[in-house]
């Protein structure tokens, strides 16, 4: 039996287990997974579920990356999992996997769902079309040059490459820009043209940022604090100040932090109560509701004055990353839509210059 627990009072969130032959007498608890987060944050090791397939064991835990988010870890040992076995992400809360003969399904529930939902889960041995959540990000730096940031395939360190001459399309070599990161960075641009790079720490422990000076050089990395359920969103407001919006680890709330003044190195304290529970993307305009996998729209919040009528942008389509094992089974699923999900086998697949560990499958959206 797997269950969520704290390692000790004030300790880390863990997944523990006990064994029994008769459901009356149980072994002492043992830990199968320890997360970096502590009891100062919402638990991110809830609803543990383990499924075996072809000699691999998959641990589904959440909420991670938002309230409706479940990470999947793969291991050959059902009693030991770690983040090195990260296999993918399923957009659902309290996800469980069901096998019915040769058919596989994933279920999901939650406060916002008002019921239980299921979607088919398919396995296959060949790669499928994909869009990686580790795609590079780019922006203009203080010198007006295009800078590209990506994650290294091996140690997840942050890399940077800069266009040196737009006329000849000459680029610098890739260089290490920062330590291991949990996701590609988010970029903000100050009024003086300098970039600010915001990075999610491995395991979502916290946020860090690094500021570019007007002359193009960089300050050192600094801890930025705040919730760390996912990479933050960064934008410049009408006054020229950068604002950061970040999701708490369990998706329970959205917090905000603002610059003290345009281009300032000083920031105001976090405003933790900026928004309520989040994690469910909005339903596409005109999309027909389905009895399975209906999507609840998110609430919007405007800064005064509100935008003109008809000025709202169109919501983005929902996209999912797959479940991927270390040996190579790859699966993808989610209860967000009644669409089939697919998996492939081959950890050594390369797509251009994208490293194997950055490869992710994209769910068919129809």
- Pairing between β-strand 175-180 and β-strand 157-165 as defined by DSSP bridges: antiparallel
Domain with CATH 2.115.10.20 in the chain: 137-275
Give percent of the chain above pLDDT 90: 35
Confidence band, pLDDT 50/70/90 cuts, at residue 307: very low
What number of helices (H) and strands (E) belong to the chain?
0, 25
- Pairing between β-strand 186-189 and β-strand 222-225 as defined by DSSP bridges: unpaired
Find the range with the poorest average confidence among 154-158, 186-190, 353-357. 353-357
| Main-chain dihedrals φ then ψ at residue 72, nearest 5 degrees | -125, 125
Residue 21 has pLDDT above 60, yes or no: yes
- Listing DSSP states for 209-230 in one string gives EEEB-TTS-BPPPEEEES--SS
- In the CATH hierarchy, which top-level class contains the domain 137-275? mainly beta
Average pLDDT of the residues in 211-220: 93
**Which residues does 136 contact at the CB level (< 8 Å), separation at least 6?**
148, 149, 150, 184
Angle at 307 between CA 244 and CA 282, to 5 degrees: 65
- Pairing between β-strand 2-6 and β-strand 12-17 as defined by DSSP bridges: antiparallel
> Sheet harboring 207-211: ordered strands across?
186-189, 195-200, 207-211, 222-225
Pairwise CA distance, residues 295 & 339, whole Å: 13
Confidence band, pLDDT 50/70/90 cuts, at residue 236: very high
Does the N-terminal peptide bond of residue 42 adopt cis geometry, omega within 30 degrees of 0? no
Q: Give residue-wise pLDDT tens across range 78-123.
A: 999 998 888 777 888 899 999 888 888 989 988 767 788 888 877 6
Q: Give residue-wise pLDDT tens across range 30-63.
A: 999 998 877 777 788 999 999 998 888 999 998 8
- Pairing between β-strand 157-165 and β-strand 207-211 as defined by DSSP bridges: unpaired
Whole-angstrom distance between the N-terminal and C-terminal Cα of the chain?
38
pTM over 0.75: no
Pairwise CA distance, residues 365 & 334, whole Å: 12
């Amino acid at each position: 039996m797997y269950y969520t627990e704290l390692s000790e009072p004030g300790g880390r969130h863990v997944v523990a287990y006990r064994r029994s032959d008769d459901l009356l007498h149980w072994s002492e608890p043992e830990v199968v997974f320890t997360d970096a987060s502590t009891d100062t944050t919402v638990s991110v090791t809830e609803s543990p579920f383990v499924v075996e397939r072809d000699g691999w064991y998959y641990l589904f835990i959440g909420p991670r990356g938002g309230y409706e988010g479940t990470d999947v870890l793969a291991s050959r040992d059902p009693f030991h999992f770690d983040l090195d076995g990260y296999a993918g992400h399923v957009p659902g809360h309290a996800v469980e996997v069901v096998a019915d003969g040769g058919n596989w399904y994933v279920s999901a529930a939650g406060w916002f769902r008002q019921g239980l939902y299921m979607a088919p889960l398919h396995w296959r041995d060949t790669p499928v079309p994909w869009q990686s959540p580790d795609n590079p990000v780019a922006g203009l730096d203080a010198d007006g040059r295009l800078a590209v940031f990506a994650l290294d395939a091996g140690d997840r360190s942050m890399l940077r490459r800069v266009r040196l001459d737009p006329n000849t399309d000459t680029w610098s070599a890739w260089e290490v820009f920062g330590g291991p990161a949990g996701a590609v960075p988010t970029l903000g641009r100050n009024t003086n043209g300098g970039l600010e790079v915001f990075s999610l720490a491995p395991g979502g422990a916290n946020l860090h940022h690094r500021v570019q000076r007007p002359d193009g050089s960089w300050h050192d990395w600094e801890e930025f604090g705040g919730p760390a359920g996912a990479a933050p969103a960064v934008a410049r407001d009408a006054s020229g100040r950068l604002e950061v919006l970040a999701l708490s680890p369990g998706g329970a709330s959205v917090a905000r932090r603002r610059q003290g003044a345009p281009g300032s190195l000083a920031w105001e304290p976090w405003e933790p109560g900026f928004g309520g529970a989040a994690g469910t993307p909005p339903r596409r305009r005109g999309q027909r509701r389905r009895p399975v996998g209906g999507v609840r729209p998110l609430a919007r919040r405007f800064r005064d004055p509100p935008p003109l009528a008809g000025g709202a942008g169109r919501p983005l389509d929902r996209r999912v990353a797959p479940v991927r094992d270390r040996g190579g089974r790859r699966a993808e699923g989610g209860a967000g839509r009644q669409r089939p999900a697919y998996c492939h086998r081959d950890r050594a697949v390369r797509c251009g210059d994208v490293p194997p560990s950055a490869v992710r499958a994209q769910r068919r959206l129809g």
